[in-house]
Amino acid sequence: MSLPQVSSIDAEYDIIFAGGGAAACVTAGRLATADASLKVLILEAGPPTKDLHIHTQPARYLSHLRPESTTVRFHVEPHVETLGGRPLIIPCGQCFGGGSSVNWTVYTRPSASDFDDWETKYKNPGWGSQDIIPLLQKTNPNLHVVTSAHVQHILFDANKRACGVQFKWNPKFLPGEDTEPRVSSVLRSLDINVVEELPGVGDNFQDHSIAFNCFLAAPEAETLDGIIRNNPDVVAATSKEWSENGTGLMATNGFDTLIKLRPNEKELEMLGPEFRKVWDAQFAHAPDKPVIFMGPMSSFIGDVTNVPDRKYFSSAFYLAYPVARGHVHVTSADDVAAPLDFKSGYFENIADIQPFILAYKIMREISRRNHFFRGEYAPTHPEFPPGSQAAVIQNGMPIPFDTPKIVYTKEDDKAIEMYMRKFIGTAWHALGTCAMKPREQGGVVDPRLNVYGVQGLKIADLSICPSNVAANTYSAAVAVGEKAAVIIAEDLGIKLIE
């Protein structure tokens, strides 16, 4: 469906979406198609994305993470004690399509038990896997899209019914994904009018923390390094192939294989008693839940400014269900560019650290056996003690598959932990800050996505997820959007078009 970008805005609409992320686009599209008489408006703070190469060519995804990017907002936790006191930066999509327009173009579905947890553990009937997974198998002039429009306030009438929004034009695309905490958090200290007390708004922040290690690749390997470095000859050649037939390196994200890891009994012993508690509570009864996602990538991942210009490949691994919980709250009543009061909770629990140590060891063994392996790029690996068997191989060739695995000492494990604390980052999968669960448990919306205590206001994006999902979260956003369309259509008495 072609979405019209309008130059003027009508005074009244039947449905207004404050934020044009993936879930909002799905919901709005379904409703606008189902009933041509509905007037639907999407207000998005960031820029348009239609037909722009940085959004349509998978190989260009890293361009959105550059400091000068206008397609994401960078949230900063200034001082993270558990990460050695360094700042933690979490980019969130702020452009039309939200995270789906700037992501890694990786599509993975959550485990069925993830949705079942939402339904049973958090008391949300209709949100179990039997209801949600069919929605993921689905693959208008009455829908208006307005970009560069930053929603500042939701307007309520005397009966606490949402009746409109107030927005401000945002021509410079000033840094929106965590829109709900900025729009809906009500802090009396900032002289913001409190419509309804909902302490859970902005809490329950969850994310997937991720780590990368890089390896030297053979000269004949096909990698994305030339594109990432913006090499003019490589970009010109690969762009030409893309334009002519949609193939070549521009058509790939360099991430073709994904491993879902559940530790065996021996590995569980290595992970220690704190993780065992998490395992028994969350994983033992749910065989479809992985602990770690990991896989190889065909490029250097990170700032290449001072990195030798050659070919690389990397290993990546992220924790599927971190114990960590944080928060996101406003610090200003009207300045949309003001930094947030943000806390990630990364590595505050030892159970979130031990799986990374195991994943590093496994991916390192796999990478050393890669046909294109030519050594390890030392700055992206732990500083192992002198004389350690685990010492970095700075130049080398692939080892035979039957080579014995590296034996790591306690000191080696400590070096891996220190590396993780120094370099762990976000997988750009933030969710949970307006959780769909009972109000007395800190919930913000009910199973029909209504915000508790008010009328006419629903939330439909990843912020409603009460718990994490074992997937790149685009698919979860689509699921929320599809379910929201079903719910709103039922409320309006209209039938969705299949």
Enumerate the known binding-site residues for FAD.
428-429
> 462 near 492, Cβ under 8 Å?
no
Residues 394 and 15: their CA atoms lie apart, in Å, by: 58
Token representation of residue 98 = 């939200």
As a 3-state breakdown, the chain gives helix, strand, coil percent values, each rounded to 5, of 30, 20, 50
Side by side, the strands of the sheet bearing 341-343 are: 203-205, 326-329, 341-343
Residues 113 and 119: their CA atoms lie apart, in Å, by: 10
Residues 412 and 391: their CA atoms lie apart, in Å, by: 9
Rg of the chain in Å (alpha carbons): 23
End-to-end CA distance of the chain: 14
- The residue whose two tokens read 């979130």 is 352
Instruction: Evaluate the CA torsion angle 114, 356, 263, 313 in order and state its sign.
Output: positive
Of 455, 484, 485, 481, nearest in space to 195 by CA: 455
The angle subtended at Cα 11 by Cα 37 and Cα 174, nearest 5°, is: 110
Of 317, 315, 408, 332, nearest in space to 368 by CA: 315
Question: Three-state SS for 7?
Answer: coil
Binding residues: 428-429
